[in-house]
């Protein structure tokens, strides 16, 4: 399966502006450009204010994250320390720690966790 899903070492998650749909999530690579995106997930910046780690698009091989819209399909699952992403004809894999770290950075930017010493009693 590693031949079908090349490893991406410079994976990142960015927000892009769409004229009609507000901000959207895009998986990118400095060396390969756009890898995958979520075209039906509009105004993601509003959703990210309420995001928690359990909301990260990730599944298992037996029960993958699976989303689709007209002419678009993405499947994401973790196996053996890798996250496999297949969007239409594009297939890639990213180290799990890297994938989770990228999502944690995006979530923290919109829904930061206040340190306990700053929380009022």
Pairwise CA distance, residues 76 & 70, whole Å: 18
Lowest-pLDDT range of 36-45, 63-72, 91-100, 112-121 = 112-121
Threshold 0.95, pTM exceeds? no
CA distances (Å), origin 58, targets 30, 86, 117: 22, 12, 32
Confidence label for 57 from pLDDT (cuts 50, 70 and 90): very high
């Amino acid at each position: 399966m590693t031949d079908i899903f090349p490893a991406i070492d410079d994976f990142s998650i960015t927000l892009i502006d769409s004229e009609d749909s507000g901000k959207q999530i895009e998986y990118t690579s400095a060396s390969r450009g756009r890898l995958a995106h979520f075209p039906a997930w509009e105004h993601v910046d509003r959703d990210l204010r309420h995001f928690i780690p359990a909301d990260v698009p990730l599944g298992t091989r037996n029960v993958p994250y699976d989303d689709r819209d007209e002419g678009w399909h993405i499947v994401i699952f973790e196996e053996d320390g890798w996250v496999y992403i297949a969007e239409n004809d594009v297939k890639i894999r990213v180290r799990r720690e890297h994938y989770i770290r990228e999502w944690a950075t995006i979530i923290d930017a919109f829904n930061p966790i206040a340190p306990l010493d700053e929380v009022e009693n």
